[in-house]
Structure 1
Amino acid sequence: MPDLRLRRIRLQTERFLPLLLMADDRQAEVEALLRVGTLYGLFVQRRQPVSLTVITDETAAFAANGPRAHLDGGLRGKRVAECRLLVTAPAFRGKGLARQLLMRVCGLLDTDCDAMIVGTGTVPRMDRFYRGCGFAPCFVLPHHFSEAWPAPIWEDGILLDDMQYYARHIGRTGPSPR
């Protein structure tokens, strides 16, 4: 792949909606994530996005009194970033670009965060992908997909219900979650 560049995208993030909506078709949710998160992308020759991700700061959620402090993932009190969306353009799938984007963003955040988390459906392909990126299972949100989405979601022939979260230590110091 020639000249892949990682970019933090600050302006006109809405122009990337068509690609982001391939990861989550709820436009209002994606737009809300773009308002609170940071959009990163891998670009070919600075123009064409081949893979995008939205990262949010979840540190407050895992503080001692935060809404996620009760989750048993070894993350309480840690500086936590969450990969909320990860998508690769169809013509570029299967080339390791989502993995490359995720790894490069983890490297970029290693001085600001202790851990990166990501939630996904309980699908073997996704489990292999995130484990292959150095993530380990850390907690489950039961019935997340069946309660949060208006219609059933199927992936790889599996009806999604629980959301499995994975964590990866990315900070330069301190123990890894779990």
Structure 2
Amino acid sequence: MKIELIKEEDKRNYLELLLLADEQEDMIDKYLWRGELFALYDGGLRAVCVVTDEGGGVFEIKNLAVEPRFQRRGYGRQMMEFVCGRYGGRCRKILVGTGESPLTIPFYRSCGFQESHRVKDFFIDNYDHPMFENGVRLKDMIYLERNFLTAED
């Protein structure tokens, strides 16, 4: 297994997989070009993740997607461990925003994240169509965070 940082000019090649986690292309365009895109390979592409620097020692996971036929095999967790290892030593916290899904929130909690805050009606106000995950209509963006100690703490 290996995780690679994807060059700027190649980021669009991963759009199909990115759309699994964020199904509106213009929303992906808002963060893809200012973030770092990582791809996890294990005999082929298995997962992608976009991380942005939000300033003030805060990084945000904007997109984490695993190929459907390889989900629930540990690739998402491997990517989370990689991201936390890469950024944890140089940040105060890592944020991740997600819909209120019975699958994603427990996953992030199991990776050491805890609920931070929510943005009411985010999915209603920012997407051009209703969004559903596991039969649940997404309304609010639920933010979770994982805190890290820095040299200043």
TM-score normalised by structure 2 residue count? 0.91
**Alignment correspondent of 1:56:** 52
Letter in 2 for 1:17: L
Find the aligned partners of 2:101 and 2:131 in 1 and give their Cα distance: 12
Alignment partner of 2:127 out of 129, 136, 149: 149
**Alignment correspondent of 2:29:** 31
Is the counterpart of residue 95 in structure 1 residue 73 in structure 2?
yes
| Cα shift readout 1:44-96 (whole Å, capped 9, x = no counterpart) | 25xx221100001112xxxxxxxxxxxxxxxxxx4100000000011211101
Gaps of at least 5 residues in structure 2 are none
CA gap 1:5/1:161 in 2 versus in 1, 3 angstroms: same
Residues matched between the structures, number: 152
Are 2:120 and 2:139, in contact at CA under 8 Å, matched by a contact in 1? yes
Find the aligned partners of 1:142 and 1:35 in 2 and give their Cα distance: 26
Find the aligned partners of 1:87 and 1:170 in 2 and give their Cα distance: 24
Identity of aligned residues (%): 31
Letter in 2 for 1:52: V
Compare CA radii of gyration and give the structure with the larger one.
1
Offset of 1:141 from its aligned partner?
A: 0.4
Find the aligned partners of 2:6 and 2:103 in 1 and give their Cα distance: 29
Find the aligned partners of 1:113 and 1:50 in 2 and give their Cα distance: 27
Are 1:109 and 1:170, in contact at CA under 8 Å, matched by a contact in 2? no
Give the secondary-structure state (helix, strand or coil) at the position aligned to 1:33: helix
Is the counterpart of residue 8 in structure 1 residue 10 in structure 2?
no
Letter in 2 for 1:167: E
**Alignment correspondent of 1:168:** 146
Find the aligned partners of 1:99 and 1:18 in 2 and give their Cα distance: 21
Choose between structure 1 and 2: higher helix proportion: 2
Give the secondary-structure state (helix, strand or coil) at the position aligned to 1:58: strand
Offset of 1:21 from its aligned partner?
A: 1.4
Gaps of at least 5 residues in structure 1 are 60-77
**Alignment correspondent of 2:111:** 133
Offset of 1:173 from its aligned partner?
A: 4.8
Give the secondary-structure state (helix, strand or coil) at the position aligned to 2:28: helix
Offset of 1:27 from its aligned partner?
A: 1.6
Are 2:40 and 2:46, in contact at CA under 8 Å, matched by a contact in 1? yes
Are 1:118 and 1:167, in contact at CA under 8 Å, matched by a contact in 2? yes
Are 2:90 and 2:150, in contact at CA under 8 Å, matched by a contact in 1? no
Are 2:118 and 2:140, in contact at CA under 8 Å, matched by a contact in 1? yes
Letter in 2 for 1:158: V
Letter in 2 for 1:165: Y
TM-score normalised by structure 1 residue count? 0.79
Runs of 4+ displaced beyond 2 Å: 170-175
Are 1:107 and 1:170, in contact at CA under 8 Å, matched by a contact in 2? no
Alignment partner of 2:20 out of 16, 19, 22: 22
Letter in 1 for 2:118: V
Find the aligned partners of 2:151 and 2:102 in 1 and give their Cα distance: 31
